[in-house]
Amino acid sequence: IPLFCKQLFRLVELQPARAAWIGDIRAGTTVSYGNQIKASCHLIAFNADSAGVLGIVSLDCQDGGKRAVSQLHCHSDTVTDFDFSPFDQLLLATGSADKTVKVWCLSENGQDLPASAGVILGPEGCQVDMLQFHSTADGVLASGAGRRVKIWDVAQQQSLTGSAPEMLAVHKPLVVSLFFPQDKKLRIFDPRAKPTASQSVQGHENNKDSRLIWMDASDYLLSVGFNQMREREVKLWDTRRFSHSLLSCALDSSSGAAIPLFDTDTGLLVVAGKVINQCVTEGKTQGAALVPKLALDVMACEVARVLQLTDSFIVPISYTVPRKSVQEFHEDLFPDSAGTLPSASSQEWWAGDNKQPSLTHHVVLFPQDGSGLSSPSSSLTSPSMAPSVSTTSGFASSSSQRSLQSILGPSSKFRHAQGTVLHRDTHITNLKGLNLTTPGECNGFCANQQRLAVPLLSAGGQIAILELSKPGRLPDTSIPTIQNGTPVADFCWDPFDLQRLAVAGEDAKIRIWRIPPGGLQKMLLEPEAVLRGHTEKIYSIQFHPQAADILASSSYDMTVRIWDLRTKQEVLCLKGHTDQIFSLAWSPDGRKLATVSKDGRVRLYKPRQSLEPEQDGPGPEGSRGARVVWACGGHYLLVSGFDSRSERQLYLYKADSLSAGPIAVGTVDVSPSTLIPFYDEDTSVVFLTGKGDTRVFVYEIVTEAPFFLECNSFSSSDPHKGFVFLPKTTCNVREVEFARALRLRQSSVEPVVFKVPRVKKEFFQDDIFPPTTVWWEPALTATAWLTGSNAQHQMLNLQPKDMTPVSEAPKDVPVRKYAPSSVYLEEKSDEQKKEELLSAMVAKLGNREDPLPQDSFEGVDEDEWVGRHG
Ligand SMILES: *[C@@H]1O[C@H](CO)[C@@H](O)[C@H](O)[C@H]1NC(C)=O
């Protein structure tokens, strides 16, 4: 909840154009405890104006035309409440004054409605007042009738409970709100436990219509009712200290019942009633519903949509967060949402299973060649396509699964790694006119320990060169650039010569540019060398890791060529590819070259021995893009790509047996841009993120199961355009900083450091910092390599002279490797959580302006906001 406070303060309520209202509605004026309207991802159901009839209309307007409203004749008396199954968008349960509960299978278009119910439950002793499907267990339905609650197993058409008297709300694994007007008390109950297990407390003082909702899987409960003054009030309860409410807040003195609608992902509470009456003038509000999260327009930053039922219209009211860049998916606004797959069957649940809902990432489907920045007009995860987070290799991305894994499985010592953006003083800001639509094979920008290169939007492939030693605001005037003369396909710095930049052009040529020491002072027009030979434009280029002056390039002409920069000549031309070459990587020893390509193969060459692949094996099936890096001492290949369902996956191969296929496959998430890996040999940690992503995934790679050990990821509030790592020597080892990167944003570059939290920082953490490869000095000349020599890089000990290795720390000094868990934000104590929840609630309900401490470190930058809105 606190994460979202900042956003919530600035929500914009979109007044819908009248054309978006759904007309031809004749809503009933039923008096019941139901919301009168509910929505699934496909359909809207509402109380129609004749008893026993619900109106059914599709949620989306199919062809821009009018939506047809159908009538479901479902009961012989008033329909008092109804609910869609969270796992089946067409399954509707209805309860009625005729004492029965029925379950209906509707059609996707909301027409051709069934004449009879699929299941009939009851009759109960008196009218059914309330109905609610279980949020995580399949086919579990709670009904409230009179003073009784029943829990039904819908598939078995039978009641799981006998009937338990006087249950007002059921325990959180059930997540229902059921309120009984005859009693002012709130009671909590686990229907699977003995009825005596209940707790009770005085609820609202006035016994008029009250509502209860669980705040998701937390221990908090929220109630809306009336106080003695007959004012509407909201109360927040901690069920572990149920003797009194944590918070009570009077809203107004309207007499109509308030309907609380709560979105668990964002913590957004909408109290419908008077609030909505204020914003829509037409007609009296009969009811209100939240549209399911998966049906929202995430690309428009729509965080909630309320459907207001009036006498003659259904009015959709969107709540959006105003972001400048609306073409991108703002991951921070859309945490994993409860998915459409149940996490337990009714039987499992009844037997005591308390699984959390399976979470779904919001999926955005892009055109195949999408770089991740193109904009689909709408975006959603259609429920049938929404994959739940899968765990092919035992790892997944939801935090609950991750923490479960960290309890059960082997865990990484980098598990608590923390990525932090360094202070503003170190940023380069006021970058203008960047070309952020570089091809998928290009990282977007490139950097070495001294400077970075980034392409500009201007014609003729201009490249800006920025010195890392000169952070700060760039002048408004244009800065000196490299005039490449043709658009940039890919580019990289010579690892052994910090002044030398190789640029592959769309004109099939590679130009080698030399930056004067200290940086670019004037326009650079003449390259140092031009490499000619490819017959079509180039995908990517890569310098040799050991030998000076050796460069490899891949091209649309399906070849990989190896160049000697001294002679400017092509020296080798590798064959065997039959489609686009997504990525190439030299082995750390410089003997081999691996490629991954669109023809679904991973290939391995020994270029000096053969121009044909030495080995090949099955690669990722998805054709959106892929990357390859060497891992674990050069004995393994790590490929990131897409499977046939467009999920982003990691594949680990043994480099000496590619044909056997990957030894491990893991699903990361669903997102359109290729995950670009950076592998740190010293720690065996791989960092993965895509252009346009907000999250950097971190895994330690190990050579036995489970192969991928998930570590804390780094997330930012706005998407990065590129994320490039710097050499180990830039890391501050005293701060246990084991990786340092540069993050390119729309108009700035900022350093991000990754640290391992350690207590005894006065010791050199030699387990984190083994001697590192001096890969920035060549080990061979081009001639030596070309004539068959091999060599090894020097190694460098990173230990500062004045520090003692932690492995040699005196025995009497107790060395605790990890800081206590409370150090980590993700592991808050109950007290902390309660504090935050409370302050968030107080702030929201009291409508105060930005009162929260977390505002100072969460949310997005000030300049990302279009404006401030209540
Ligand atoms: C941006 O760069 C790509 C190649 O990297 C090029 O195709 C495109 O034309 C450039 N866009 C502009 C506006 O210069």
393: Cβ–Cβ under 8 A, 6 or more apart, which residues? Answer: 664, 665, 666, 667, 705, 706, 707, 708
In the structure, what pLDDT confidence band is assigned to residue 835 with cuts at 50, 70 and 90? low
Distance 486 CA to ligand 1 centre (A): 9
Is the whole model's pTM more than 0.75, yes or no?
no
Q: DSSP strand E in 736-862: where? A: 737-744, 749-755, 772-773, 795-796
Indicate whether residue 435 lines ligand 1 (CB < 6 A). yes
**Alpha-carbon distance 603 to 405, whole Å?**
33
Averaged pLDDT for residues 813-841: 49
Which range has highest mean pLDDT (248-252, 569-573, 771-775)?
569-573
In the structure, what pLDDT confidence band is assigned to residue 329 with cuts at 50, 70 and 90? low
Indicate whether residue 373 lines ligand 1 (CB < 6 A). no
Three-state secondary structure along 660-677? HCCCEEEEEEECCCCCEE
What's the confidence (pLDDT) of residue 844? 45
CB neighbours (10 Å) of residue 478?
14
**Alpha-carbon distance 350 to 544, whole Å?**
61
Q: Which of 303-312, 553-562, 595-604, 766-775 bottoms out in mean pLDDT, i.e. has the lowest?
A: 303-312
Q: Is residue 340 scored above 90 in pLDDT?
A: no
Ligand 1 pocket test, candidate residues 436, 437, 463, most atoms within 8 A of CB = 437
What's the confidence (pLDDT) of residue 268? 75
Indicate whether residue 805 lines ligand 1 (CB < 6 A). no
Residue 626's alpha-carbon distances to 178, 248, 537, 540, 676, in angstroms, are 51, 54, 19, 12, 8
What's the confidence (pLDDT) of residue 207? 63
Q: Is residue 531 scored above 70 in pLDDT?
A: yes
**Alpha-carbon distance 297 to 11, whole Å?**
15
**Alpha-carbon distance 521 to 746, whole Å?**
24
Indicate whether residue 462 lines ligand 1 (CB < 6 A). no
8 A C-beta contact, residue 510 and residue 502: yes
* Token pair of 289 as six digits: 């519903």
**Alpha-carbon distance 355 to 176, whole Å?**
16
Per-residue pLDDT tens over the stretch 688-728: 999 999 999 999 999 988 899 989 999 998 999 999 999 99
* Token pair of 786 as six digits: 């070309």
Indicate whether residue 457 lines ligand 1 (CB < 6 A). yes
What's the confidence (pLDDT) of residue 803? 94
**Alpha-carbon distance 530 to 413, whole Å?**
46
70: Cβ–Cβ under 8 A, 6 or more apart, which residues? Answer: 55, 56, 57, 110, 111, 113
Ligand 1 pocket test, candidate residues 369, 434, 435, 507, most atoms within 8 A of CB = 435
8 A C-beta contact, residue 182 and residue 196: no
Indicate whether residue 460 lines ligand 1 (CB < 6 A). no
8 A C-beta contact, residue 141 and residue 93: yes
- What percent of the chain stands above pLDDT 90? 45
Beta-bridged to residue 82, according to DSSP, are 94
Distance 512 CA to ligand 1 centre (A): 19
8 A C-beta contact, residue 35 and residue 259: yes
Indicate whether residue 487 lines ligand 1 (CB < 6 A). yes
What's the confidence (pLDDT) of residue 199? 65
8 A C-beta contact, residue 444 and residue 721: yes
What's the confidence (pLDDT) of residue 228? 78
Q: Is residue 867 scored above 70 in pLDDT?
A: no
Q: DSSP strand E in 48-157: where? A: 53-58, 70-73, 79-84, 91-96, 101-105, 119-121, 128-133, 140-145, 148-153
Residue 780's alpha-carbon distances to 216, 547, 549, 775, in angstroms, are 61, 5, 10, 11
Indicate whether residue 488 lines ligand 1 (CB < 6 A). yes
Indicate whether residue 486 lines ligand 1 (CB < 6 A). no
Atom of ligand 1 nearest to the CA of 458: 14
366: Cβ–Cβ under 8 A, 6 or more apart, which residues? Answer: 372, 374, 376, 672
Averaged pLDDT for residues 42-58: 91
Per-residue pLDDT tens over the stretch 363-372: 332 222 333 2
What's the confidence (pLDDT) of residue 204? 75
Distance 224 CA to ligand 1 centre (A): 56
**Alpha-carbon distance 401 to 358, whole Å?**
9
8 A C-beta contact, residue 464 and residue 481: yes
Q: Is residue 754 scored above 60 in pLDDT?
A: yes
In the structure, what pLDDT confidence band is assigned to residue 353 with cuts at 50, 70 and 90? low
Residue count of the chain:
870
Closest-CA residue, ligand 1 atom 3, reads: 438
Average pLDDT score, the chain: 79
Averaged pLDDT for residues 557-562: 97
What's the confidence (pLDDT) of residue 646? 85
Averaged pLDDT for residues 96-108: 91
In the structure, what pLDDT confidence band is assigned to residue 495 with cuts at 50, 70 and 90? very high
Residue with tokens 């540069």: 742
Closest-CA residue, ligand 1 atom 1, reads: 435
* Token pair of 843 as six digits: 């702030």
Distance 440 CA to ligand 1 centre (A): 12
Residue from 582, 603, 579, 577 nearest 659 by CA: 603
In the structure, what pLDDT confidence band is assigned to residue 865 with cuts at 50, 70 and 90? very low
Averaged pLDDT for residues 246-257: 76
In the structure, what pLDDT confidence band is assigned to residue 132 with cuts at 50, 70 and 90? confident
185-189/169-170 β-pairing: parallel
Atom of ligand 1 nearest to the CA of 456: 14
Indicate whether residue 455 lines ligand 1 (CB < 6 A). yes
What's the confidence (pLDDT) of residue 848? 34
Distance 574 CA to ligand 1 centre (A): 28
What's the confidence (pLDDT) of residue 544? 97
What's the confidence (pLDDT) of residue 810? 82
8 A C-beta contact, residue 302 and residue 318: yes
In the structure, what pLDDT confidence band is assigned to residue 187 with cuts at 50, 70 and 90? low
Residue from 606, 664, 660, 659 nearest 640 by CA: 664
What's the confidence (pLDDT) of residue 598? 95
Per-residue pLDDT tens over the stretch 200-243: 677 777 766 677 777 765 677 788 888 877 788 888 888 777 77
